[in-house]
């Protein structure tokens, strides 16, 4: 875990001339942007324009064909292996274990992230995202909206300095959307937030906006 | 990361996989069904004949090999198919993922062997000359199969035709371990073959080869896994 003193404040994300090709198909062309803690970077664009790919490149889950993504904390570059501490991510491509309960999922990810406050943290996060009382149910029995809420608990449990939200309100009801917007507002002062979306209300949150496929 | 950090993460992955397997019986049921069916069919068809130890040993390892091919790939393939691999990549060190999956595959294959080998002895009406050696060979052979299958499963999980590629890739890689296991099993069933004294003397070279093969596979897999697991 990052120490309290080095959390958030000095975090900086740089997307440096990133291009990505899948075979002959170019998905991203020379994308560049910079955002720091306290800012929201919005990635907007039509379906298939490469929003999700760019989010994964920023998470350093996939390598760009050209260019690079840099994470810096207080001016010090962080390696991709720090992803478990740096990145909190919600994405349609990210799924938790259906056969495990929500509590078991969160406890497992707390263990591998090296968090000491596993069970208490899991219960408080479930409560925060409106899943209190359903923590012992298998995730496979959850609705798509409940699974989306659980992904927020997964993404925020380690208090990451970089929060990546790909389609942040997908599958959510009105109450869920409010919870997510509250979570973004709460995280905004201390984290660098990246949102890939086409929702006008969410695009307006952006301090920095990347428009793909424009 | 410290070795204790790796170990903690690897044990967490193992515990998660054991819990998932206990809930779904995803790999164990299919592997055991195949192994028991293959044993039963062959034992019924060859029951009028008395098979040589060479054939018996080969038959046992054919069943264990294909059981491993059916079950051991699931640990990684399932993570990709269920789209849980991304969460694992984001949170867990690659080496810990490999070690956790390896331990799970060893446990699964040992559990299968614990059912298959006694059943094989009963159905084929075999009284091994050296039961202790047979247990040792089975354990080391299982370790060799699991160590090679785990890294191949990780490679295959990123491909499209997963099932077909797994057996094709696994066969040449596992062949050295498999041939040592078969030779040592022949010695265990028939008695010490070769020079030296004591029951294990003839098979000692093959047991050492199995142990060396497993160490080589695990070490090289740990070095290479980062490249296989990450994009």
**Are B96 and A112 a contacting pair at CB < 8 A?**
yes
Q: Would you place residue A6 in the very low, low, confident or very high pLDDT band (cuts 50, 70, 90)?
A: very low
The minimum CA-CA distance between B85 and chain A, rounded to whole Å, is 8
Interface of A with B in 134-153 (CB under 8 A): 138
Sign of torsion over alpha carbons A164, A169, A174, A175: negative
Q: Predicted ipTM?
A: 0.89
Q: Per residue in B109-125, pLDDT tens? A: 999 999 999 999 998 88
In percent, the amount of chain A with pLDDT more than 90 equals 80
For residues B172-201, one letter each, b for 16 or more C-beta atoms within 10 angstroms of the residue's C-beta and e for the rest, the string is eebebbbebbbbbbbbbbbebeeeeeebbe
Q: Would you place residue A4 in the very low, low, confident or very high pLDDT band (cuts 50, 70, 90)?
A: very low
To probe the interface with B, which of A59, A80, A97, A157 has the most B CB atoms within 10 Å? Answer: A97
Taking Cα atoms as reference points, which of A92, A82, A211, A141 lies closest to residue B83? A92
Q: Would you place residue A210 in the very low, low, confident or very high pLDDT band (cuts 50, 70, 90)?
A: very high
Task: Give the number of A-B residue pairs with CB atoms closer than 8 Å.
Answer: 70
pLDDT at A75 over 70: yes
The minimum CA-CA distance between B170 and chain A, rounded to whole Å, is 27
The pLDDT of residue B50: 77
| Cα–Cα dist A186/B54, whole Å | 70
To probe the interface with A, which of B90, B225, B226 has the most A CB atoms within 10 Å? Answer: B90
The pLDDT of residue A208: 95
**Are B12 and A111 a contacting pair at CB < 8 A?**
yes
User: Which residue in the block uniquely carries the two structure tokens 């990780």?
Assistant: B154
The minimum CA-CA distance between A106 and chain B, rounded to whole Å, is 11
The minimum CA-CA distance between B198 and chain A, rounded to whole Å, is 47
Query: At how many degrees (to 10) do helices B131-156 and B53-71 cross?
Result: 30
Q: Per residue in A76-121, pLDDT tens? A: 999 998 988 999 999 999 999 999 999 999 999 999 998 876 678 8
The residues of chain B scoring below 50 in pLDDT are 193-195
pLDDT at A188 over 50: yes
Contacts of A83 in chain B (CB under 8 A): 89-91
């Amino acid at each position: 875990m990052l120490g309290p003193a080095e959390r958030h404040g000095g975090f900086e994300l740089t997307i440096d001339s990133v291009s990505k090709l899948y075979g002959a198909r170019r998905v991203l062309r020379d994308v560049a942007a910079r955002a720091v803690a306290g800012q929201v970077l919005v990635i907007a664009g039509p379906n298939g324009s490469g929003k999700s790919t760019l989010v994964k490149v920023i998470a350093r889950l996939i390598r760009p064909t050209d260019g690079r993504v840099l994470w810096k904390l207080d001016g010090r570059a962080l390696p991709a292996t720090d992803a478990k501490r740096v990145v909190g991510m919600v994405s349609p491509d990210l799924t938790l274990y259906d056969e495990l309960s929500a509590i078991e999922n969160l406890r497992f990810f707390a263990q591998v992230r090296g968090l000491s406050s596993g069970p208490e943290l899991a219960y408080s996060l479930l409560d925060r995202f409106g899943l209190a009382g359903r923590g012992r149910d298998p995730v496979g029995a959850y609705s798509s909206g409940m699974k989306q809420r659980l992904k927020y608990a997964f993404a925020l449990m380690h208090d990451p300095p970089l929060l990546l939200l790909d389609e942040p309100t997908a599958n959510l009801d009105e109450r869920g959307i409010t919870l997510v917007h509250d979570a973004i507002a709460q995280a905004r002062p201390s984290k660098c937030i990246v949102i890939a979306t086409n929702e006008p209300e969410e695009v307006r949150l952006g301090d920095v906006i990347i428009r793909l496929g424009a | 990361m410290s070795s204790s950090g790796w170990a903690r993460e690897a044990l967490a992955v193992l515990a998660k996989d054991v819990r998932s397997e206990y809930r779904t019986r995803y790999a164990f049921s299919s592997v055991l069904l195949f192994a028991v069916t293959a044993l039963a069919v062959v034992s019924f068809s060859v029951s009028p004949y008395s098979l040589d130890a060479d054939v018996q040993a080969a038959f046992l390892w054919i069943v264990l090999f294909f059981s491993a091919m059916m079950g051991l790939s699931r640990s990684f393939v399932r993570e990709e198919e269920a789209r849980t691999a991304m969460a694992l990549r984001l949170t867990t060190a690659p080496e810990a993922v490999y070690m956790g999956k390896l331990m799970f595959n060893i446990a699964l294959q040992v559990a299968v062997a614990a059912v298959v080998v006694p059943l094989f002895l009963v159905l084929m009406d075999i009284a091994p000359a050296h039961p202790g050696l047979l247990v040792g060979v089975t354990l080391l052979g299982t370790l060799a199969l699991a160590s090679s299958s785990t890294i191949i499963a990780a490679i295959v999980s990123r491909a499209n035709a997963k099932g077909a590629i797994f057996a094709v890739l696994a066969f040449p890689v596992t062949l050295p371990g498999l041939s040592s296991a078969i030779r040592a099993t022949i010695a265990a069933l028939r008695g010490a073959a070769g020079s030296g004294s004591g029951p294990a003397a003839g098979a000692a070279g093959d047991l050492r080869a199995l142990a060396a093969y497993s160490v080589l596979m695990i070490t090289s897999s740990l070095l290479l896994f980062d490249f296989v697991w990450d994009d």
